[in-house]
Amino acid sequence: MNYGYIRIAAAIPNLKVADCKYNIGRMIYLVNEALQNNVQIIAFPELSITAYTCGDLFHQNMLLKSAEEQLNELLTITQNSEIIIIVGMPIRADNQLFNCAVVLQSGKILAAIPKTYIPNHSEFYEKRWFSSAVNAISDSITLCHQRVPFGPNILLSAKELCFGIEVCEDVWVPIPPSSYHCLHGANVIFNLSASNEVIGKNEYRKELVRQQSARCMSGYIYVSAGGGESTTDVVFAGHAIIAENGSILSESKRFDEQEQLIINEIDIDRLMLDRQKATTFMGLIENEMNPNRNYRFVECNLKQVDITTLHRKIVPHPFVPQDDSERDHRCEEIFSIQVGGLAKRFQHTGSKSAVIGISGGLDSTLALLVTVKTFDRLNISRENVIGITMPGFGTTGRTYNNALNLMKSLGVTVREINIKDACIQHFKDINHHPDIHDITYENTQARERTQLLMDIANKEKGLVIGTGDLSELALGWATYNGDHMSMYGVNSGIPKTLVRYLVHWVAENLVDDNSKETLLDILDTPVSPELLPANDKGEIDQKTEDIVGPYELHDFFLYNMVRFGFRPAKILFLAEIAFKKKYTKEVIKKWLEIFYRRFFTQQFKRSCLPDGPKVGSINLSPRGDWRMPSDASYRIWMDEIKNL
C-alpha cells in the first residue's frame, strides 16, 4: 500500500563536459541506486547527458549525435524497469536546437519538452545556441527511432499522479509555465536546471522553489547541475530541492564532491484535498491572461511500490514547531491573536470586567493570562478581572493553592465559592444519591460553576471568558452547557499540546517571578477535570488522559483528519512512524477508534460554540472551518479501523 505517496528522487551525477558516454554511465549508476530504494520517478539536471557548459560545442554534430546514441543506450539498459527517468539533452527539430527534458520509461520515450524561456544573461547567453519552445513548429519528433510527443504543453499522467516539466529559467519568470501546468491538472512539477552560485542566490533560489510549490499547491522537484561542469567563468554547486506545497522536504548538500541522490515522497492525497478546498485555485483558468495551450496528456504507468516507511519527517506534535526559536515566535504570535480577539470583544461590548473560573489547571491558566494582558492593553485595571475558584468534591490542595497564588500574583480580584453545598442541594432536588459518582455527579459540578460565572458576570456587567481548548472540543470533553459555554472562548483554537508551550512561554517572558513559579507548578500538574474525589493521599485520582487517551495522539489524529482529510488507515500508518518509540500499533489503534467515535458523536457540542479566535490551520467553529451535521454516521470510518 502506498497511502497516496509517490516516491521521487533528484539525482546529481558527476559529469564530464561533452563526454556523453561517461555521463550516461554515471546516470545509470544513480538509476540503479534509485531502484534499490523503490523510487518511482528520478530526475537529472538540465542538459545532463552532454553537461550544461558545452558552449559552442552544442553546434557540433558529433556532440548532438553522441547525445542521442547515449540516450538510446539508457533506453536499452532500463527497458525492463518501470522507473520513470527524466534527463536533459539538446535536441534538433524544425531547423533549430532546443534545450529539452526527455521523459522515458521501460525503453520508451514518453515525451520531449523544450525549454520556454531562454536566458540571455552575461554568463548564460543560451540564445546563442538554443531556441525557445514557442518557436517550435512540430508537435512530435523522431528520437532514437521513436516518434515522440514534443512541446511545452505536455503533461504526463498515471492515475492520481499528473506531472509537468519546466526547465531552469522557466521558474524565474513572472508566471512560470508550471503555474499553467498545475491549472490544467499537474500536481507534481519537475525542474531540470543549471543554476550557478553567486552570493545570495542560494537562499533566493530555495525560496523561489518553495513559494512556487505553495502557489501551485504541488510537489516541486528542482535539480541543478553540480560536479563536473566547467568552472571557466562560473561554479555550479549541485543544488537539489524536493518541496511540497510550501514546505522543503529534502535538500542536497551544495559543493559536495560526491554524487548525490535525494529521495522523498510527495503526498498526492494531501495536495488534491488542499486544491479541492481552495476554490480560488482554479480562478485563473477562465481569465483572459490564461492562454489556451491545448494541453496534451501522455499516459504512463507508475511503478507500484509498497511504502512501509517514509523519507519525509513525520512530527508527532504537528501543532508545535520543533525549533525553539520558531516555537517562541509562534507562541508570541498566537498569544497576540488571543489578546487581540478578546480586546475587540471588550471594545465592542463596552464591558469593563471579565469573569473567569480558575481551577489551577492549564486551560483556565492560559485564559487568565490572556485576559490579564488584554486588560493591560486596554488600560483597564487588572482588578476588573474577577477570578473565581470554586472548589468541589474533587479539588485537590495543589490545584486550589495554585489557583489562589496565581490570581494574587497577577493582581486580579480573587473570589472563592465552595460549590459542595449547592451541589448536594441539587442532588436532593433531582433525587440523585451523592455516593453515586456517575456522569450526573460530575456534570452537576460543572454546570453549577458555569451558572455562578454567568450570574456574576450579569451582576458585574462583565463577560464570562471560556477556558476550553481545541482538543477538548474535538473529543467533546466538556459538559454541555457547563464548561462548554461562555461569552468568548479565547482557547477554542488552541490544541492541548500547544497550550502547555504557550503557558511556559508566558512564564518565561511576560510575568513576575512569583507568577512564574506558580505557572511552572501548574505545568507539572496532571490534566484532570477534578470532578471525582481525590485518592487517600489527597492527590488527583481522575486523570483525563487515562480516560480519553493521550492528548498528543488525539492532536495528531485531529490534525491529519481535519487538515488533510486522511482516512484512518493513513493516519494509523503515520502515527506508527511518528510515535514508534512510544506507542505500539495496538495502542494507537485503540485511541484512534475512540477519537473517531467521540469526534462524530460529540459534534452537537461544537454546533453551538461561543465565539472565539482562530489561530491556526485547524479550527472547529460551526461558523467557520468545520460545518458538520450533528447526526452524521461514522460507520465507514469505524469499519476501516476494525479492519486495520
Looking only at the bridges linking them, the beta strands covering 84-93 and 96-105 are antiparallel
- Nearest one of 123, 117, 212 to 173, comparing CA atoms: 117
pLDDT exceeds 60 at position 484: yes
pLDDT exceeds 80 at position 606: yes
Looking only at the bridges linking them, the beta strands covering 84-93 and 41-43 are parallel
Q: Distance between CA atoms of 285 and 409, rounded to whole angstroms?
A: 59
What pLDDT, on the 0 to 100 scale, is given for residue 123? Answer: 64
Please provide residue 218's backbone torsions phi and psi, each rounded to the nearest 5 degrees.
Answer: -140, 170
Report the percent of the chain where pLDDT is more than 70.
96
- Nearest one of 378, 449, 373 to 411, comparing CA atoms: 373
Query: Are the C-beta atoms of residues 195 and 239 closer than 8 Å to each other?
Result: yes
Q: Is 46 a catalytic residue?
A: yes
pLDDT exceeds 70 at position 426: yes
The dihedral formed by the CA atoms of 22, 27, 31 and 37, expressed in degrees to the nearest 10:
110
What lies within 8 Å, CB to CB, of 328 at 6+ separation is 505, 509
Given 20, 100, 162, 168, the catalytic residue = 168
Query: Are the C-beta atoms of residues 449 and 483 closer than 8 Å to each other?
Result: yes
**Would you state the cell numbers that stand for residue 147, as one nine-digit string?**
516518434
Count of CB atoms situated within 10 Å of the CB of 443: 16
What would the mean pLDDT of 595-613 be, rounded to a whole number? 97
What lies within 8 Å, CB to CB, of 104 at 6+ separation is 71, 74, 75, 78, 84, 85, 87, 110
What pLDDT, on the 0 to 100 scale, is given for residue 412? Answer: 98
Tens of pLDDT along 501-541? Answer: 999 999 999 999 999 999 999 999 887 766 677 776 766 66
Tens of pLDDT along 86-102? Answer: 999 999 999 999 999 99
- Mapped onto helix, strand or coil, the DSSP state of residue 24 is helix
Given 46, 244, 448, 552, the catalytic residue = 46
What would the mean pLDDT of 202-208 be, rounded to a whole number? 93
CA distances from 274 to 220, 392, 565 (A): 15, 46, 9
What pLDDT, on the 0 to 100 scale, is given for residue 231? Answer: 84
Given 20, 68, 100, 115, the catalytic residue = 115
What pLDDT, on the 0 to 100 scale, is given for residue 133? Answer: 95
- Mapped onto helix, strand or coil, the DSSP state of residue 43 is strand
Query: Are the C-beta atoms of residues 219 and 244 closer than 8 Å to each other?
Result: yes
CA distances from 236 to 14, 180, 225, 526 (A): 11, 29, 6, 55
Provide the angle, in degrees to the nearest 10, between the axes of the packed helices 585-601 and 635-642.
170
pLDDT exceeds 80 at position 287: no
What pLDDT, on the 0 to 100 scale, is given for residue 538? Answer: 67
Strand partners, 241: 222, 251
Tens of pLDDT along 69-86? Answer: 999 999 999 999 999 999
Residue type, 282: M
What pLDDT, on the 0 to 100 scale, is given for residue 283? Answer: 73
Tens of pLDDT along 444-464? Answer: 999 999 999 999 999 999 999
Residue type, 248: I
Q: Distance between CA atoms of 357 and 369, rounded to whole angstroms?
A: 13
pLDDT exceeds 80 at position 400: yes
Q: Distance between CA atoms of 367 and 415, rounded to whole angstroms?
A: 17
pLDDT exceeds 80 at position 597: yes
What pLDDT, on the 0 to 100 scale, is given for residue 282? Answer: 78
> How far does CA 615 lie from the centroid of its chain?
15
Query: Are the C-beta atoms of residues 58 and 129 closer than 8 Å to each other?
Result: yes
Q: Distance between CA atoms of 368 and 354, rounded to whole angstroms?
A: 9
Q: Show the DSSP H helices in 185-267 as ranges.
A: 201-215
CA distances from 361 to 278, 463, 536 (A): 38, 20, 21
Q: Is 115 a catalytic residue?
A: yes
Query: Are the C-beta atoms of residues 225 and 52 closer than 8 Å to each other?
Result: yes
What pLDDT, on the 0 to 100 scale, is given for residue 56? Answer: 93
User: Would you place residue 278 in the very low, low, confident or very high pLDDT band (cuts 50, 70, 90)?
Assistant: confident
Tens of pLDDT along 27-42? Answer: 999 999 999 999 999 9
Tens of pLDDT along 104-156? Answer: 999 999 999 999 999 887 566 889 999 999 999 999 999 999 999 999 999 99
Which of these ranges, 249-263, 288-302, 436-450, 511-525, has the smallest mean pLDDT?
A: 288-302
Looking only at the bridges linking them, the beta strands covering 385-389 and 413-416 are parallel
What lies within 8 Å, CB to CB, of 446 at 6+ separation is 479, 482, 483, 529, 531
Query: Are the C-beta atoms of residues 251 and 206 closer than 8 Å to each other?
Result: yes
pLDDT exceeds 60 at position 290: no
Q: Is 16 a catalytic residue?
A: no
Tens of pLDDT along 542-583? Answer: 777 888 899 999 999 999 999 999 999 999 999 999 999 999
Count of CB atoms situated within 10 Å of the CB of 81: 16
- Nearest one of 480, 506, 418, 444 to 609, comparing CA atoms: 480
Structural domains of the chain sorted by starting position, each given as residue range(s) with its CATH number in brackets: 5-299 (3.60.110.10), 324-642 (3.40.50.620)
Tens of pLDDT along 155-182? Answer: 999 989 999 999 999 999 999 999 999 9
To the nearest whole number, what is the mean pLDDT of the chain?
A: 93
The sign of the dihedral angle between the CA atoms of 426, 430, 434, 439 is negative
What pLDDT, on the 0 to 100 scale, is given for residue 543? Answer: 73
What would the mean pLDDT of 351-364 be, rounded to a whole number? 95
What pLDDT, on the 0 to 100 scale, is given for residue 531? Answer: 65
What would the mean pLDDT of 310-339 be, rounded to a whole number? 93
